[in-house]
Structure formats: C-alpha cells, structure tokens
C-alpha cells in the first residue's frame, strides 16, 4: 500500500477531516488530525446538516458508523414549513408521513454538527486528534513536511491533507487560485433555550425548519437537538458593504433595526429572533472558487471539502467533504496506482469535476433564492405545485 510506513497529517478536525481519519485508520494508516480548537467542547458547532444518500451517508456507511448515526440523527428535523414574510404558512411537511427509510435515495436525515463531530471523534483511536494545534506554516525537510503550529510545537508528515475549511492555510501550498466574493452576505444567529425564551417561534418551528423568501431576501430557521434555534438571513450586497456596514454585531437593538430596514414589510413575528439571539450575530460573506479551477497534483499535499471548493451554501458542503474523504482514502489505499502523486491526481480530477458541478448548482440556487419568485421555486423544490 502507498501509505505503508508513512505518516499522514490532516489539518482541520471538521466532518471531512475526521471522516478521512476514520477511513484511513480502518486501513491501518498512521494518521493524526491537527485541530486549532482547544478541546472538543470549546466552540459551539453550527446548525443542522442533512446527509445525502450518495455522499455523506455513503461515507458514514463505509466508515462502519451507520448504526451509530441512526442512534444519533434527529428524526423529523428535516421536515420544513414554507412561510411567507407576513407569517402565513404556505406549505407544511409536518402534515406528511415521516420519512425514515435509509434505503430511499431521497431521504436526507438531519444531524446537528456537534453530535456528528462527536460521533466521528469517538470512532477514532485515542490521541488521533491533536488539539490546540493551529497551523502556522510548513516546509519540506528531508523529503517530509515539517509543520509548525502557532503554539510553538512542530510535527512531521509524509503527506499533508488540508481539511481546514474556507480560509484554508494549506490551499496556497496546492494552488495560487483564490476564491472571490459571491455577492451574498449571511447573518447567522442562535437563540438558546428557545422553548422558554421564544415559545411562539419554537412552536412554529415544530422541531424542524422554516423557509421564508421575499423581496430578494431569505430567512432560514432550524431547530437543534440542544433546545436552541439557529437562523440566518441571506441577501445580496456589494463587497464594500462588508467593510462599511457600520453595524455592531453585539448590539441586539442595532441588528434588529437593521433587519427592520432591510426586510421592510416583514412580520413582527421574526423580530424576537434578533431580540433574543446570543451575541455576537455572525457576519458570513459568501465566497466561491472558479468553476474551471484546476492545478497540477502535488506528490505530498492535497485538499478536501471547503479548502478545495468553497461555494455558497446549498446543502452540499459537508456532504462533498465527506465524499472527498471517502474517495481520497480509497485512492490512497489503491493497489492500482504506483505513486502517491498518481493517486492524488486521480482523486483531484474527480473531486474537481464534481465540485464544479456542485458550485454551478449552488450559484444557480443562490440566484433563485434571492429572486422575486423564490417562494414559488422553494415550493417546487419540495415537490409541490404553486
């Protein structure tokens, strides 16, 4: 096997990096994951994820974790309501029979990011993840990578895999191609103890999701298993707005006033999200890599997930990262290739092709989500005619 007697370093302990570590350990590979977080609990993980039959769930199955996943996912959390800006329910999936058929390719079970991360962490050998290891730089020394971390420690590896997300520090070692602004800003917030703090919204959400579209803007709301509610607004802004918006994202009143101005005519039922959100509300400008990006494969470094192909949110990000991990693990363990560079090249060719297709889809989704007929498009997406 290509990785026999070789040390593998994965930079980034998100779902993609942890999935790869699990898959490589099943093949007997010496792998470490270097994560900047101080420990598994220090940072609250984001909103819920829906795993897809042909990607995320496929990787979970190959990792031998399907039984654990079925015990962890949240039945019914994928059921949504389409509500208009004035608060009228247009479509309600909660009236339909709950789908829990894992053999159905259209079933997309929901799991919170935190539990998914814990599921993957618990599947790894002890001490696989090296916490408090924020990547600083790396250099080639005697045919290996010498990796230096911000805490002053160093490590060596024969192969480095960048799974460190949209702001990847490994990406420049692979390609000079940079992401560009996609023209969309997201404001993301979270309300703790939603049942007691915002009971009306908690009841309207009904343990699932809410989709609101109108006036070229969107508001998406999700329940979480810890009793909190995640929400985000999405709208089109020029890149200068990011620097010059003048907002204090720790100021409830200021953020609420911004929402009232930007979402003029929307119902007051949405106001409590901003009034009760934990601060700061997070500004997330959206970026995208070129559809035609390509590069020459390197013999000892590669990328997966957002580090390789960041795009506006479309439900594919984590799923693509986990599928990247699956494909990369199989190429690295293949007996049909002679060198690591050949294996990486084969992996990257397929990865970049499907990422380009997914990026195109995500850009098209971003366009219609901010169009005047977005509500009608959402109804069609959920299989309903207007």
Q: Which element (helix H / strand E) includes 75?
A: none
Output the pLDDT for position 383: 66
Instruction: Note the helical H segments in 169-270.
Output: 194-197, 199-205, 239-244, 252-262
| CATH for 7-74+109-178+290-368, options being 3.40.50.920, 3.40.50.1820, 3.40.1530.20, 3.50.50.60 | 3.50.50.60
Return d(Cα 98, Cα 101) in angstroms, integer: 9
* 48-50 and 110-112 strand pairing: antiparallel
pLDDT at position 355 over 60: yes
pLDDT at position 292 over 70: yes
Dig out the tokens for 201 from the structure. Answer: 């919204």
- Which residues lie below 8 Å from residue 111, measured CB to CB, with a gap of 6+? 48, 49, 51, 69, 72, 73, 74, 119
In percent, how much of the chain has pLDDT > 70? 98
Output the pLDDT for position 332: 96
pLDDT in tens, 302-345: 999 999 999 988 778 899 999 999 999 999 999 889 999 999 99
The reply to whether 22 sits in an annotated binding site is no
The reply to whether 108 sits in an annotated binding site is no
Output the pLDDT for position 385: 44
The reply to whether 78 sits in an annotated binding site is no
CA separation, residue 265 to residues 22, 87, 259, 381 (Å): 49, 11, 11, 25
What number is the average pLDDT over the span 215-231? Answer: 95
Dig out the tokens for 141 from the structure. Answer: 């020394």
What number is the average pLDDT over the span 148-165? Answer: 97
User: Model confidence at 46, in pLDDT bands (50, 70, 90)?
Assistant: low
pLDDT in tens, 71-121: 999 998 989 999 999 999 999 998 877 778 898 888 899 999 999 999 999
Output the pLDDT for position 106: 85
40 and 128 in contact (C-beta within 8 Å)?
Answer: no
Q: Which element (helix H / strand E) includes 212?
A: strand 209-214
212 and 220 in contact (C-beta within 8 Å)?
Answer: yes
Dig out the tokens for 39 from the structure. Answer: 């420990």
Residue 28 CB coordination number (10 Å): 11
pLDDT at position 33 over 90: yes
User: Model confidence at 386, in pLDDT bands (50, 70, 90)?
Assistant: very low
Output the pLDDT for position 286: 95
Output the pLDDT for position 139: 98
Dig out the tokens for 59 from the structure. Answer: 């990787």
Torsion over CA: 277, 46, 242, 358 (sign) = negative
CATH 3.50.50.60 domain span(s) along the chain = 7-74+109-178+290-368
User: Model confidence at 44, in pLDDT bands (50, 70, 90)?
Assistant: low
CA angle 31, 34, 38 (to 5 degrees): 140
Mean of pLDDT over the chain: 93
The reply to whether 36 sits in an annotated binding site is no
pLDDT in tens, 199-213: 999 999 999 999 999
For domain 181-287, give the CATH number: 3.30.9.30
pLDDT in tens, 234-288: 999 999 999 999 999 999 899 999 999 999 999 999 999 999 999 899 999 999 9
Output the pLDDT for position 45: 63
SS (H, E, C) 127-185: CCEECCCCEEEEEEECCEEEEEECCCCEEEECEEEECCCCCCCCHHHCCCCCCEEEEEE
């Amino acid at each position: 096997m290509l990785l026999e007697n070789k040390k593998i370093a994965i930079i980034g302990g998100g779902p993609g990096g942890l999935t790869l570590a699990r898959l490589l350990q099943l093949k007997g590979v010496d792998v470490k994951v270097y994560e900047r977080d101080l420990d598994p609990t220090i940072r609250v993980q984001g909103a819920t994820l829906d795993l897809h039959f042909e990607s995320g769930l496929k990787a979970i199955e190959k990792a031998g974790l399907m039984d654990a996943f079925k015990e962890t996912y949240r039945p019914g959390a994928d059921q949504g309501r389409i509500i208009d800006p004035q608060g009228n329910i247009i479509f309600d999936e909660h009236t339909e029979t709950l789908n829990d058929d894992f053999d159905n390719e259209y079933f997309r079970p929901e799991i919170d990011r935190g539990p998914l991360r814990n599921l993957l962490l618990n599947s790894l050998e002890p001490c696989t993840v090296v916490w408090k290891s924020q990547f600083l730089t790396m250099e080639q020394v005697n045919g290996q990578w010498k990796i230096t971390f911000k805490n002053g420690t160093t490590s060596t590896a024969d192969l480095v895999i960048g799974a460190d997300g949209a702001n990847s520090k490994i990406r420049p070692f692979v390609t000079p191609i940079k992401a560009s602004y996609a023209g969309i800003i997201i404001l993301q917030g979270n309300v703790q103890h939603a049942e007691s703090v915002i009971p009306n919204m908690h009841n309207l959400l009904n343990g699932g999701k809410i989709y609101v579209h109108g006036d070229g803007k969107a508001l998406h709301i999700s329940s979480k298993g810890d009793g909190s509610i995640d929400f985000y607004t999405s709208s089109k802004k020029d890149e200068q707005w990011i620097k010059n918006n003048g907002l204090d994202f720790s100021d409830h009143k200021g953020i609420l006033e911004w929402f009232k101005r930007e979402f003029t005519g929307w119902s007051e039922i949405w106001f409590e999200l901003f009034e009760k959100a934990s601060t700061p509300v997070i500004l997330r400008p959206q970026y995208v890599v070129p559809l035609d990006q390509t590069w020459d494969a390197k013999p000892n470094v590669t990328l997966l997930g957002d580090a390789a192909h960041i795009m506006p949110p479309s439900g594919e990000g984590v799923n693509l990262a986990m599928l990247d991990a699956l494909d990369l693990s199989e190429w690295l363990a293949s007996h049909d290739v002679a060198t690591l560079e050949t294996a990486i090249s084969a992996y990257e060719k397929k990865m970049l092709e499907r990422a380009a297709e997914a990026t195109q889809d995500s850009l098209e989704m971003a366009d219609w989500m901010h169009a005047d007929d977005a509500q009608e498009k959402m109804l069609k997406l959920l299989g309903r005619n207007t």
